[in-house]
Amino acid sequence: MIDSLLRIPLVFCLTLLPLAVQAQDGHAHQPAKAAKKPALAIGAAFAPDGALWAVGLDAQARLELRISRDDGRSWQAPRLLDNGGEAVAADGESRPKLAFGPQGQVVVAYTTPLSKPYTGAIRLLRSTDGGATFAAPATVHHDRQLITHRFESIAFDAQGRLHTAWVDKRDLELAKKGSGKPAYRGAAIYHNVSLDGGASFGPDTKLADYSCECCRIALAPTPDGQVAALWRHVFAPNIRDHAFALLGAAAPAAAPVRATFDNWAVDACPHHGPALAPAADGGYHAVWFGERAGLAQVRYGRLDRDGKPVGAVLALPDEQAEHADVLSAGKRVAIVWRSFDGSSMNLKAWVSDDDGQHFILRQLARSTAESDSPHLLRKGTQLFVIWNTAGERHVAAL
């Protein structure tokens, strides 16, 4: 039996909570508060020594770390991470993130809700001793307006630089104030780089205007050791497809590339972001949700090194698939998702050993409890999936 789950109360990142905590950045941050439903969204990663780390919320909505040294079969006693008691968004597309740097750094990123609805600040806990101790949380972005800074993703590149990308509404606020800009679609994608493992951060750099407001941003390593990003974009006038860009140390050298062509016209955010993984040939594997010709599905496709689509786009072999993830190790590629069959939620995988030319469908788990989306992890050349439900944490090798 897999170790029992973190039983975590739901804290909506959009909820206005009654009490606020004044943080060092001058914003009123919401305190952690228990709620009725379990907040099951976690971040997870394998450490350099092979241990599996997972961060989520405990029953009092406090940030908690769990470590397994046997690939998820058993877990050490939980450890609370001191983030000053501020609330942590841990539901759906917004969740704590965890990453390991090349020199013993461990970073935990999360969004904390601010005092107005739909606002947030991206915070980072940083360790330089392999996670034995963590510094107090710091705000990642330099912009301190009481606006949306949310749905962050983090990754270290091959040079040890820490990249953070997030959804940001500062340009929307400028448009509202009559700055002379045309009507603003959605939000924007911003990015910055830390050269010292999260101790300090470079300037906030805009990757693109007109992103979707509440979809996660996918990051993946590039063949030359950089980081690539894929996100749901709002192409004129209201087409919610996806865009691709490389994350450099400074402003991007080129405009984002359109990566999907479902041509889904919708004036709303589907809360359903993409996933991205490197392909053995130097391009990328991508999965995303969208509506094409009236058919809403999760789809798989290939992108070239520049992020442009190549080859056929395939629907996943499950009409109910949602919140898919993709990861690769050489030519081995795994896609995982959850799927509701009318009575229970199912964890499924599509696995390829030839760089995505052929896939085998696997049923991995089933649950009637509340559940998080599944997430893929890499340990050396092995791929694993972790799936949180309100009764069990499933971890399986693929």
- Quick: pLDDT tens for 130-158: 999 999 999 999 999 999 999 999 999 99
Report yes or no: 243 and 187 within 8 Å, Cβ to Cβ: no
At 88, list the tokens: 């942590």
Can you tell me the distance from the alpha carbon of 283 to that of 229, in angstroms, rounded to the nearest whole number?
13
Rounded Cα gap, residues 291 and 297, in angstroms: 6
Kindly report the pTM of this predicted structure.
Answer: 0.91
Instruction: Please report the pLDDT score of residue 69 as a whole number.
Output: 98
Task: Give pLDDT, residue 391.
Answer: 80
Predicted local distance difference test score (pLDDT) of residue 6: 32
Q: Report the distance separating Cα 368 and Cα 350, nearest Å.
A: 22
At 213, list the tokens: 């407001």
Q: Which of 143, 138, 163 is nearest to 152 (CA)?
A: 163
Low-confidence ranges of the chain (pLDDT < 70): 1-38, 179-182, 249-254
State the SS3 of 234-300.
CECCCECCEEEEEECCCCCCCCCEECCCCCCECCCCCCCCCEEEECCCCCEEEEEEEEECCEEEEEE
Rounded to an integer, what distance in angstroms lies between the CA atom of residue 371 and that of residue 373?
7
R_g of the chain, CA atoms, integer Å? 20
Q: What is the pLDDT of residues 243-264, one digit of tens each?
A: 999 997 655 556 899 999 999 9
The predicted pLDDT at position 122 comes to 98
pLDDT at res. 22: 45
181 in Cβ contact with 188 (< 8 Å): no
Say what the pLDDT of residue 233 is: 97
pLDDT on residue 252: 56
Q: What is the pLDDT of residue 109?
A: 98
